[in-house]
Amino acid sequence: MGLIFLCIGIGLYFANKRKYFVCTQAVIATIIDIQKETINNSSSTEYEAKIASWFPIYEYVINGITIRKKAFVGTAKPEVTVGEKVSIFINPNNPEEFYCPGEKRMLLQKIFMGVGIGLIVLALILGSIAFYVIR
């Protein structure tokens, strides 16, 4: 399980590095909406915890074309307001691809890597204890 989390964290790291490398053109985008997405929205029981994430929708214009894109990472509560202007970076060869420095992408990859490493270390410790107890 730890290896899976670690691999996801490493994958996110390289995906972020790639975005930073190819998305070099600075653009001013406007937040046109903030979408609320709820996890565990099934109606099987009213006592289930419902977790909401808020995703800004960015709008920017490149070469006369208006592009609208949803943020990659959501937040527990809205951290931006509709109408707010933010600086984002787009891929000049593919204006649909972007990253926003204000998004907490690094936090997500660090969480996955930390959980992965923690689980691996825990497995090694418990394995060592079990080995010495069984001997």
Of 68, 2, 63, residue with least CA distance to 35: 68
Q: What is the pLDDT along the chain (135 residues), one digit of tens a residue?
A: 888 888 888 888 888 788 889 999 999 999 999 999 887 656 556 666 678 889 999 999 999 999 999 998 888 888 889 999 999 999 999 999 998 887 766 677 778 888 888 998 898 888 888 888 887
Q: Residue 24 belongs to what domain range?
A: 2-134
Cα separation, 34 vs 78, whole angstroms: 7
Contact 61, 30 (CB under 8 A): no
CA distances from 64 to 29, 61, 115, 119, 135 (A): 14, 6, 44, 49, 73
Which residues lie closer than 8 Å to 14 by C-beta, 6 or more apart? none
Contact 105, 15 (CB under 8 A): no
DSSP state, 42? Answer: -
CA-CA-CA-CA torsion sign (71, 59, 91, 27): negative
Would you call 75 exposed, middle or buried from its count of C-beta atoms within 10 A (0-12, 13-18, 19+)?
A: middle
Q: What is the pTM of this model?
A: 0.71
* pLDDT given for residue 33 in this prediction: 96
Query: How many domains does the chain contain in total?
Result: 1
Cα separation, 94 vs 99, whole angstroms: 12
